[in-house]
Structure 1
Amino acid sequence: MNKVSEEYWNDYWKNQEQPKSVSAWQFGDDPDTLAQLVVDGIKTATCSGRVFYEIENEPLPTTEDYSIILNSENQPVAIIKTVEVTITPMNEVSEEFAIAEGEGDRTYQYWWDEHEKFFKKELNAIGHEFSEDMLLVCERFELIDVRK
């Protein structure tokens, strides 16, 4: 976590007991647009391929997790709290979840097309193949604070 994010986090929690689990990160291919969707209350979900957690030896998210959402310049934009985590094959992700991701025209088809393209590119880069039933880590979150 960079210094600006750490200051934002500490300032938000001053006079309160801080949660133990916090990370700072950017969303996908367009961090500024996606962060703004969170701020606007449109984006309330996200997903990633489980394989990426395994390869990077990262723990899966939990409902104890808080995240500082960063823009493309690694500046903090908002704090979110994970409220639900499921492991779901991509071809079983519900339309409701896809719409909760808040991207594009907010249709299931848009979600599928963009995620298929993204995962094919990312998996190719690490020598893996895309599969329609690849496991996704699907997270729902709540907006806790917007940085002023």
Structure 2
Amino acid sequence: MWAQYARARPEAVALSPEYSVERFGDSEGLADELLELVLIGRKRATAGLVAEFLAEGDDVPRIGSHWIACDGRGVPRVIIRSVELRLSAFDDVDAQFAFDEGEDDRSLESWRRNHRRYWERVTSALGTTWSETDEIVLQRFSVVWPPEFADPVRP
């Protein structure tokens, strides 16, 4: 998948040749559910704790970076490219970002409820405790490959 994308979009790869391979969420079911939202064009943002990136030995994404998003079984489905990043605290996430994440009813209230549960679960698995003051990476992205799922390229 990466080789096909690199041949089709060499300029994007030249600007950011590194990529990660990962899935959304912390379970097969959640990964499939969130990936489906990406595939239908509803989800164009995601949020992750800085502590998660560090615990997994991953770098925090940067604008232009790529990741191959896999389904719950680890099968690569699309290549995503970061187009906007910012650090935030839980209470500073706004309604527009919650909407762009595309989950549940897209409201800020459901975003807070669901992410609170998710991060409590994830940090517990890491042997730590989640706090609303923990730094969150808010990432907006575009789908760049394969062509049938790719967002329109902006000039």
TM-score higher than 0.5 here? yes
5 Å-filtered alignment, 1:19-30, equals 19=14, 20-28=17-25, 29=27, 30=30
Shift of 1:57: 3.5
Alpha-carbon contact 1:23-1:66 (below 8 Å) kept: yes
Change (3 A) 1:104 1:53: same
CA contact (8 A) 1:21 1:64 kept: no
**What 5-or-longer segments of structure 1 have no aligned partner?**
1-7
Q: Which amino acid aligns with 1:141?
A: F
Alignment of 1:68-147 (within 5 A): 68-146=68-146
Structure 2 gaps of 5+ residues are 149-155
Q: Does 1:11 align with 2:4?
A: yes
Partner residue in 2 for 1:5: none
Q: Secondary structure at the residue paired with 1:60?
A: coil
The answer as to whether partners of 1:45 and 1:101 remain within 8 angstroms in 2 is yes
Q: Which SS does the other structure have where 2:106 is aligned?
A: coil
Aligned residue pair count: 141
Counterpart of 1:52 in structure 2 is: 52
Deviation string for 1:114-142 (max 9, x for gaps)?
10001111112222222122210110001
Query: Which residue in 2 is equivalent to 1:65?
Result: 65
Q: CA deviation at 1:61?
A: 0.4
**How far is the alpha carbon of 1:100 from its aligned partner?**
0.7
**What is the percent sequence identity of the aligned residues?**
27
CA 1:37–1:16: 2 relative to 1, 3 Å: closer
Using the alignment, how far apart are the partners of 2:9 and 2:134 within structure 1? Answer: 40
CA RMSD of aligned residues (A): 1.7
Decide whether aligned partners of structure 1 residues 83 and 16 sit closer, same or farther in structure 2, where only a CA change above 3 A counts: closer
Matched residues in 2 for 1:57 and 1:145: separation? 26
Q: How far apart, in 2, do the equivalents of 1:144 and 1:40 lie?
A: 14
Counterparts of 2:57 and 2:21, CA distance in 1: 17
* CA–CA separation in structure 1 for the residues paired with 2:56 and 2:8: 35
**SS of match in other structure, 1:13:** helix
**Quick check: 1:78–1:147 contact (8 Å CA) kept in 2?**
no
Report if the CA contact (8 A) 2:5-2:146 is conserved: no
